Amino acid sequence: MSIFIDHATRLVVQGITGRDGSFHAKQMMAYGTKVVAGVTPGKGGQRFEDTVPVFNTVAEAVHETKANAAVIYVPAAVAASAIFEAADAGLGLIVCITEGIPVLDMTRALPYVHERGGRLIGPNCPGLISPGRSKVGIIPGNICEPGKIGVVSRSGTLTYEIIHQLSTNGLGQSTCVGIGGDPLIGTNFVHCLTAFEADPETAAIVMIGEIGGTDEQQAAEFVKESVKKPVVGFIAGQTAPPGRRMGHAGAIISGSSGTAAEKMTALANAGISVMKRPADVVPLLKERL
């Protein structure tokens, strides 16, 4: 098993004819993801790569192809609108890769998705991959191996670094989820930890957090109360100065709150093995497994 995606995932790609959308749609198809439809307004009726039907709206795509998940690669200015549209079409899983969506747009989009029973992953995330089964997003498939480690992270390339360390040391992954670097995101650490804890194929969990907000602290509380599987954690930004946005819109220490030190302490107090550097992930996991 895996969390959120598997062989049954039937994907519609919003923005399939765009530069990023077309590139990654091809990568996902090559990985074996069931890309059943694409959406680009005005290009309905075309076929992407001679195979995938393109529709003008997500609702049509869902009606015609029984898609059950969407991935969004459209520009930031229209990305919130794409999230609303996917939620309206009744999709249970919406993965938004786009970076730079205004936070105030997300204050409206998030309740809209949740009221319709959908799960949003992201925005500003690399998506997720269940190695050997399905990939939704942009995580490079070639660095992943099927296995028993669940990975959840606020970052992109730092996640690749950690996955790379795992794969080259014989630790495959059940699912890797990038939840995104924005201040407001649809799926947080606690949601992923809940799913990994319930997934019989996941034996241990790696969580990669960073400065800003209190998501990691809440995750630590949750691990203490409700997670029996071993958890190994990392927090990026130990050397970040306060008050500055470190690339990700959500990676900011406000006043004295949201520091790496504070989060590492919370993780350690919850019984999570805390990495000092990315290369610690393998020895710490081996200790706990």
Partner 1 sequence: MNLHEYQARDILRRHGIPVPPGEVASTPAEAGAIAARFGGRVVVKAQVHAGGRGKAGGVKLAKTAAEAEAHAKAILGMTIKGLTVQKVLIAPTVEIASESYVGIMVDRASQRPVLMVSPAGGIDIEEVAAKTPDKIHRLAIDPRYGLLQHQALALGFQLYSDVKQARAAADIMQKLYTAVYAVGASLAEINPLVTTPDGTVQALDAKIAIDDSELERRPEIAALRDVSAEAAAEVAAREAGLTFIKLEGDVGCCVNGAGLAMATMDLVKYYGGDPANFLDIGGSSNPQKVVAALRIITGDPNVKSILFNIFGGITRGDDVANGIVQATKAFPLKVPIVIRLTGTNEKEGIAILERAGFAAVSDMDDAVKQAVAKAKGKAA
What's the min distance (Å) between Cβ of 278 and partner 1?
6
- Selection from 210, 138, 143 nearest residue 173 by Cα: 143
Q: Which residues contact 276 (CB under 8 A, 6 or more apart)?
A: none
Give which of 98, 105, 239 is closest to 180, Cα–Cα: 98
Minimum CB separation of residue 10 from partner 1 in Å reads: 25
Q: Check binding of 117 to partner 1 (CB under 8 A).
A: no
- Is 110 among the residues that bind partner 1 (CB under 8 A)? yes
Within 62-101, the residues that bind partner 1 by CB under 8 A are 76-77, 100-101
* Residue 184 in contact with partner 1, rule: CB under 8 A: yes
**DSSP 8-state assignment for residue 272:** P
User: Which strand ranges, in their side-by-side order, compose the sheet holding 10-14?
Assistant: 47-48, 52-55, 34-39, 10-14, 69-72, 93-96, 119-121
**How many residues bind partner 1, per CB under 8 A?**
58
- The active-site residue out of 24, 114, 164, 248 is 248
Is there binding between residue 278 and partner 1 (CB under 8 A)? yes
Q: Provide the mask over 14-53, with x wherever binding to partner 1 is found by CB under 8 A and - wherever it is not.
A: ------x---------------------------------
Q: Which of 5, 54, 14 is nearest to 34 (CA)?
A: 5
Q: With binding defined as CB under 8 A, does residue 133 bind partner 1?
A: no
Number of H helices, E strands in the chain: 9, 14
Nearer to partner 1, 59 or 78 (CB): 78
Give the per-residue contact string, 199-238, with partner 1 (x = CB under 8 A; - = no).
---------x-xx-xxx------------------x-xxx
Q: At what angle do helices 215-226 and 189-198 cross, to 10 degrees?
A: 30
Dist CA 245 CA 19 (whole Å): 28
CA angle at 146 for the pair 33 and 11, rounded to the nearest 5°: 15
Q: Is 159 in the site for partner 1 (CB under 8 A)?
A: yes
Binding of partner 1 by 279 (CB under 8 A): yes
- Point out which span in 40-48, 199-207, 220-228, 271-279 binds partner 1 (CB under 8 A): 271-279
Annotated catalytic residue 114? no
Q: Does residue 183 interact with partner 1 by CB under 8 A?
A: yes
Buried b (16+ CB within 10 A) or exposed e, 179-188: bbbbbbbbbb
Provide the pairing of β-strand 146-153 with 173-178: parallel
Positions marked active-site: 248
* Residues at the site binding partner 1, with contacts judged by CB under 8 A: 20, 76-77, 100-104, 106-108, 110-111, 126, 138-140, 143, 153-161, 164, 181, 183-184, 208, 210-211, 213-215, 234, 236-241, 244-251, 255, 260, 276-279
